[in-house]
Amino acid sequence: MKIKSTYIEDTFAEAFKMWAARFIITAESRQWAQAAARSVTGFATSVIGCKCEAGIEAELTPEETPDRRPGVSVLLFTPDRDSLGKRLVERIGQCVMTCPTTVCYNGLESETTVNVGGQLRYFGDGYQISKKLGERRLWRVPVMDGEFLVDELFGIQKAVGGGNLLLLGKTAAATLRAAKAAVKAMRGPGIILPFPDGVVRSGSKVGSRYKALIASTNDAWCPTLKGVVENSALPEDVNCVLEIVIDGLDESTVGAAMHRGMLAAAKPGLRRISAGNYGGGLGQHQIHLHRLLEATAA
Amino acid sequence: MSLELTLLTQPEVPLEADVLSPDRLQSLNRSELERLELYYGNVRTPLAEFFSINGDFDGDLHLTGDLSRIKHVGSLMTRGSIHVHGDIGAHLGTGMSGGEIRIDGNAGDWVGPEMQGGRILVEGNAGHLIGAAYRGGAVGMTGGEIIIKGNVGNETGHAMRGGLIAVGGDSGDFTGVNMLAGTIVVCGRPGIRTAASMKRGSVISLHEAELLPTFSYDCCYHPTYIRLYLQYINSRGLNIDEACINGNYERWSGDAVEMNRGEILIYRP
């Protein structure tokens, strides 16, 4: 199957069950909201080394936020439910509460919740104040610029992590161009691309020859090892591979983003689009590239 | 179709009508409705003697007329709605925990005493002791919301421990007296001795307020939670100025004769 001159491999992205939370950061200005959002989503590219994956879902106008101030919507994913609460408390406590003028609201309506503000309140050392507006409890924690306001409970839900596209290009420049176009097209509600500007070059395989490592470089997709490894996945005219990893609130949202990404990435110089998987034996979700395209064609 | 009761005869003494609550009206047929007993003074009187009855109860109750002598409407209600097309008497929504009461006119004293949940909206003025504890009781309103668009009397939120009271006009003396928690917003001017003996909780005044000497000044700042509260109150029909939503407030802590953990926030233009 081809899109323009780009060959789409008949394969699938192997994605995993995750748990996700969405939170809204607002601040006195866009600058401070962005500062907190960048900080809270920093060092959150992969659960392999960062314990969570997080990213900015959207920038919000004052009309879109609960307190009508500029805001940012953030999605955070972890492999299991228990660790999601811990990561939220750590990151909101260290990166949002610390940022001037910010407030942090729950952004996900769900019957399943984790207690975040109810943990962070203890920073108030007894001077914290609870406020209940309708069914929603908020905590006011006194800080040096006034007070930090945070929802007590944050909704969480089952989600999908590790959807991906592999972009195989003739040159690094062509592959980067394709990746940037794909990232731009893929961003949208319900998904994040957790790697730097959405793109990862160090795709990994499970395990390593070194016992201490649980993951190591994906040698079959490294162009410098084409002549070295026996199982190289790269044809002769491919000299660069970039990956886009997608985490989303459900499989269909991830699939839709991958579909948009393929259409946008298919540019001259991009030889192939593939996807990373482990033979289907690890992940709970298989997102087939051809099926995504066929569904649209139909 | 909702149930519509229209007052036929103005009672000479207050009529106690705690049966006029969705929980009590559920599943009653017409004859049972007509025979519902009200207390007229100390005399049991059937509902039909004072009200004309139209429609069937489907969760919504409409009351029409000058009901300023009809007391205890909506007592202990947990669901449904009551819409009063006129004034209503004292003890409206006593101890209610759910549902909604809307008054097109004025309300008497004791609106939502010891209320636990639900909503009361009064388009006009209301009397004393809104959301308060009954005399001898330790705790007043613990949840829900009472919105009064006009003025209110004294001791609003007396011993209140949760929920929201918003007053569109002025409030009388001792607003938030003995308050334990919760939030009172006064858009007009509060009377004297505001929040006397409060332990915790917030009284927010959008105008100058005369404070007791047992309250101490903390700072002037913009409490973000006020944005949520004032926007919410606006969504319930009040019209609070944008400047108050976005503006700064003086924070006063008190009452020092108690725990000193309460606050009065006064808007500073």
CB contact under 8 A, A132 and B143: yes
Nearest residue of chain A to residue B200 (CA atoms)? A129
| Element of type H or E holding B235 | helix B224-235
- Contacts of the segment B111-114: beta carbons below 8 A, 24+ positions apart: B111/B146, B111/B148, B112/B141, B112/B144, B112/B146, B113/B140, B113/B141, B114/B139, B114/B140, B114/B141, B114/B142
Chain B: residues touching A (Cβ < 8 Å): 143, 145, 162-164, 181, 183, 200, 202, 219, 221-225, 227-229, 231-232, 245, 261, 263
How many angstroms separate the CA of residue A126 from the nearest CA in chain B?
Answer: 10
C-beta atoms surrounding B93 within 10 Å = 33
- Give backbone dihedrals phi and psi of B171, rounded to 5 degrees, phi first: -120, 155
Tens digits of per-residue pLDDT, A200-240? 999 999 899 999 999 999 999 999 999 999 999 999 999 99
Contact assignment for A67 to B222 by CB distance below 8 Å: no
**Which residues of chain B neighbour A134 with C-beta distances below 8 Å?**
145, 232
CA distance B240 to chain A (A): 15
* Mean of the per-residue pLDDT values of chain B: 96
How close is the nearest chain A Cα to the Cα of B160, in Å?
Answer: 13
pTM for the model stands at 0.94
Closest approach of B18 to chain A, Cα-based (Å): 26
Q: In Å, how far is B227's CA from the nearest CA of chain A? A: 6
Rounded to the nearest 10°, the torsion over CA B58, B63, B64, B68 is: 180
Interior angle at CA B178, CA B177 and CA B180, nearest 5:
120
Sheet of strand B37-40, all strands in order from the earlier edge strand to the far edge: B43-46, B37-40, B15-16, B70-71
Provide the residue type at B132 as one letter. A
Pairing between strand B37-40 and B43-46? antiparallel
Structure tokens at A261: 């990404």
Nearest CA in chain B to A128: B261
CB A280 within 8 A of CB A12: yes
CB A19 within 8 A of CB A77: yes
pLDDT tens digits, A132-166: 999 999 999 999 999 999 999 999 999 999 999 99
Q: Is B223 in Cβ contact with A147 (below 8 Å)?
A: yes
DSSP chain A: -EETTEEEPS-EEEEEEEEEEEEEEE-SSHHHHHHHHHHHTTT-S-HHHHSSEEEEEEEE-GGGSTTSS-EEEEEEEESSHHHHHHHHHHHIIIIITTSTT-EEEE----S-EEESHHHHGGGGTT--EEEEETTEEEEEEEETTEEEEEESEEEEEEEEEEEEEEEEESSHHHHHHHHHHHHHHH--TTEE--SGGG-BS--EEE--SSTT-SEEE-GGG-GGGTTT-TT----TT--EEEEEEEEESSHHHHHHHHHHHHHHH--TTEEEEE---STTSS-SEEEEHHHHHHHHH-
Of B162, B245, B261, which is closest to A132 when you measure between CB atoms?
Answer: B162
pLDDT exceeds cutoff 80 at B162: yes
B30 Cα to chain A: minimum distance (Å): 36
The 10 Å Cβ neighbour count of residue A279 is 7
| Residue A66 with chain B: CB contacts under 8 Å | 228
Residues 6+ apart with CB under 8 A from A196: A45
Alpha-carbon distances, residue B127 vs A50, B88, B146 (angstroms): 59, 11, 13
Provide the 3-class DSSP secondary structure of residue B233: helix
Can you say whether the dihedral through the CA atoms of A44, A46, A51, A54 is positive or negative?
A: positive
Instruction: Tell me the one-letter amino acid at A22.
Output: R
Alpha-carbon distance of B261 to B250, in angstroms, equals 15
| % pLDDT > 90, chain B | 97
Q: What is the pLDDT along chain A (298 residues), one digit of tens a residue?
A: 999 999 999 999 999 999 999 999 999 999 999 999 999 999 999 999 999 999 999 999 999 999 999 999 999 999 999 999 999 999 999 999 999 999 999 999 999 999 999 999 999 999 999 999 999 999 999 999 999 999 999 999 999 999 999 999 999 999 999 999 999 999 999 999 999 999 999 999 989 999 999 999 999 999 999 999 999 999 999 999 999 999 999 999 999 999 999 999 999 999 999 999 988 888 999 999 999 999 876 6
User: Nearest CB to A146: which of B202, B221, B231?
Assistant: B221
Decide if pLDDT at B27 tops 90: no
The CA distance from A9 to A21, in Å, is 33
pLDDT tens-place string over residues B169-195? 999 999 999 999 999 999 999 999 999
- Inter-chain contact A133–B232, Cβ cutoff 8 Å? yes
Output the pLDDT for position A298: 63
Which residues of chain A does B183 touch, with a Cβ-Cβ cutoff of 8 Å? 131
Half-sphere exposure of B10 (CA within 13 A, CB side): 8
Q: Which residues of chain A neighbour B145 with C-beta distances below 8 Å?
A: 134
Task: Please report where in the chains the tokens 């195989």 appear, as a residue.
Answer: A168
Give, as one character, the DSSP assignment of residue B134.
P
Question: Which pLDDT belongs to residue B70?
Answer: 97
Q: Which residues contact A108 (CB under 8 A, 6 or more apart)?
A: A20, A21, A22, A23, A154, A155, A156, A157
User: Do A67 and B232 make contact, defined as CB atoms within 8 angstroms?
Assistant: no
Of A134, A138, A145, Cβ closest to residue B225: A138
What is the average per-residue pLDDT within B149-165?
98
What's the rounded Cα separation, in Å, for the pair A147 and A275? Answer: 46
